[in-house]
Amino acid sequence: MAPRALRKIDPDLDLSGYLWPFEELPRPWEAEVLFDRRAPLEVEVGSGKGMFLSQASVDNPDHDFLGIEISPKYARYTASRLAKLGVPNAAVVQGDALRVFAEVFPPAILRAVHIYFPDPWWKKRHRKRRVIRPEFVADLLRGLEPEGVVHFWTDVEGYFEEARQLFRQGGLEELRATAEIRAPSAEEGGPLPEGKPPSGYLTHFERRMRLQAVPVYKAVYRKPTSSTGEAQNSEK
């Protein structure tokens, strides 16, 4: 099933406050600059078409949601989706998530991180481009609050097992790991609405996998109250 082309963005739609180039993020980090408040912050790595951000921000108004998308056209599309909803607690960064975690987020600032269907970079020589790598896991652990969680989904079993090992080696506690095949309902298989999508799935990619009855591998991790890596750094 080939992905559908993105819908055209209304040129009169005001994306200010919803679309942030990486270079314009506040340094040092100040959530108030983006959201006019300080609230529990959840981050999505690779926002795609913005389905998760649009659902989560409406369903959880007491939390702020920041997507990170490296593709300019998808970042703009996600921002347009959020602007249409008029949600005050969601925005998207156009830039490299690795740099955002390494250069922007201070320690213990993130309540949750969502990583859904990252590019598997199939060719062996390209595996080093995968987002789940030791240095990213280290930045992820540093950025999470104690007891903060990570949600990781992929349809690639090999990537799933490699990522599980890296997360555990990096100091995250695995709460659960499952493989799931679940067909969509008749309503979920129909055309998507323009506004807030139905809550039967979190991303467009998950919807495609379910329509094709492809297994989705899901894992949840938690940052321990006292992280070994952080304890070692504090002793230096």
List the catalytic residues. 119
HEC secondary structure over 132-166: CCHHHHHHHHHHEEEEEEEEEEECCHHHHHHHHHH
- Measured from the Cβ of residue 198, the count of other Cβ atoms closer than 10 Å reads 15
Which residues, 6+ apart, have CB-to-CB distance to 126 below 8 Å? none
Provide the residue type at 154 as one letter: T
- In three-state secondary structure terms, 232 is helix
Q: How many CA atoms lie within 13 A of 60 on its CB side?
A: 18
Residues 97-125, buried b or exposed e (16+ Cβ, 10 A)?
A: bbebbeebbeeebbbbbbbbbbebeeeee
Nearest partner of 160 among 178, 148, 173, 141, judged by Cα: 178
DSSP 98-126: HHHHHHTPPTT-EEEEEEES-----SGGG
Contact 90, 64 (CB under 8 A): yes
